[in-house]
Amino acid sequence: MTADPISIAEARTTVLDATRPLDAVTVAVEEALGSVLAGEVRAASDVPPFACSAMDGYAVEVGPAGRTLEVVGESRAGAPSDHPVRSGQAIRVSTGAAIPTGTGGVIRQEDVEERADAIRTGTPTSASQNVRHAGEDMRAGTVVLTPGTMLGAAELGAAVSAGAGAVTVARRPRVAILCTGDELRAPGEPLGPGEIHNCNGPMLSSLAQRAGAQVAACQRLPDDPAITRSALASGLEQADLLVISGGVSVGPHDHVKPALSALGVEQLFWRVALQPGRPTWFGAREGKLVFGLPGNPVSAVVTFTLFVRPALQAMQGLVSRAQLISDGRLAVAVARSPHREQALRVWVQRRDGELTVTPNGPQASHLVTSLLGADALAFIPQGEGELPAGSAVALEELAD
């Protein structure tokens, strides 16, 4: 174990190597938004299950315009007609209604002249005109959704159409968030001398939920070794993943690392060559992951995004990571850091088919307002001098 800062990439590999997928659970589709599928979803039967009309109109035999046809029944959505279409006949059909046997095609209501108990066709009707065939959307038995898929509105719609009432998904990771600092007060509380509001608690809790986690606890801790240790111990009991903010530096009131070591949490790295976010700590105990994030709010958000979010996603088996946007081009020159890769907060514009990225104002790690309106992190490799305007930079989307 070296005390030298490691690269962002190395730190992420270490995190993912220590991450294990969570067990699967079965939940009702109504509860599944944002969960990640653990098994396949196959179509239980053809979708649509029966041939049906794509229009409001009349089921008729194939034939020319100018026919007069007797209307002998009606097939409504949910109430099919058992009367077949025969020569010289028509059956009124609604959109989505099963088409009667003997139907050649459906002529739209707008294309007929309606008379008492009869219609006169104004256009010809060809085979299968305005007919939706059984299985056009899904064939019985085909795989509609694969494991690792995040369930959004479209996926839930497809699962329900496929016949699923419940889906097998990864259990949501349980996260405990502990914000250390004698100076912290709860949101809205009046501040005494030297005190500040705990903005990391709500931010980290929101980011964890956006990454699919269930927040089991979110609490403040004073800078006290015994309290820190017992809070970390109970956090390790109740959660799959612990996020600690502050207290991981080298000050006399930073008690997190000794407490974790006493609790048998193995340190896997401490310090990343990253700006902001250098003093990030990561360790594990019996499959539970512990992240010690720097207390500065911007550092906490950046390091959560870079290290905690991928761990939460991997725990849930998420396959595609939509937040990896690709490359953008710098709108302005940016000073490089000789020792650290920078994760700049930027806003992103599409210009001439390219993503143009502009730093989102001052970048100091205590400026919460520098996160407002930021779309992504842009990575500036370490080095001397400036990275010129127009340079390609890798981007990673920030959660909203």
What is the contact surface with Mg ion in residues (CB under 5 A)?
Answer: 181, 246-247, 295
- Phi, then psi, of 233 in degrees rounded to 5: -60, -45
Q: Which is nearer to ligand AMP, 123 or 267 (CB)?
A: 267
CB of 293 vs ligand AMP, minimal distance in Å: 8
Q: Which does 215 bind (CB under 5 to 8 A by kind): Mg ion, ligand AMP, none?
A: none
Contact partner, 198, from Mg ion, ligand AMP, none, Cβ < 5-8 Å per class? ligand AMP
SS3 content of the chain, % helix, strand, coil (to 5): 20, 35, 45
Give the nearer residue to Mg ion in terms of CB position, either 114 or 182: 182
Partner whose binding site includes residue 355, from ligand AMP, Mg ion, none (CB under 5 to 8 Å by kind): none
Residue 65 binds which of ligand AMP, Mg ion, none (CB < 5-8 A, kind-dependent): none
Cβ distance to ligand AMP smaller for residue 78 or 192: 192
Residues 6+ apart with CB under 8 A from 249: 279, 294
Which stretches of the chain bind ligand AMP, using CB under 6 A? 179, 181, 183-184, 196, 198-201, 245-247, 249, 294-297
| Residue of 212, 206, 236, 196 lying closest to 315 (CA atoms) | 212
CB of residue 174 to Mg ion, shortest distance in Å: 25
Q: 19 or 205: whose CB is closer to ligand AMP?
A: 205
Shortest distance, position 233 Cβ to ligand AMP, whole Å: 20
Q: Which residues contact 156 (CB under 8 A, 6 or more apart)?
A: 29, 32, 33
Q: Which does 168 bind (CB under 5 to 8 A by kind): ligand AMP, Mg ion, none?
A: none
**Nearest approach, Cβ of residue 296 and ligand AMP (Å):** 4
Per-residue tokens: 327: 């490359």
DSSP assignment string, 301-368: HHHIIIIIHHHHHHHTT----TT--EEEEESS-EE--SS-EEEEEEEEEEETTEEEEEE-S---TT-G
Nearest residue to the partner ligand AMP, using Cβ: 295
In the DSSP assignment, the letter for residue 257 is: H
Q: Which two tokens stand for residue 113?
A: 């002249």
Cβ neighbors of 245 (< 8 A, separation 6 or more) are 177, 178, 179, 180, 200, 201, 204, 293, 294, 295, 300
By a kind-dependent CB cut-off of 5 to 8 A, residue 183 interacts, out of ligand AMP, Mg ion, none, with: ligand AMP
CB of 237 to ligand AMP, least distance (A): 22
Closest contact distance (angstroms) between CB of 364 and ligand AMP is 11
Q: How far apart are CA 3 and CA 55, in angstroms?
A: 70
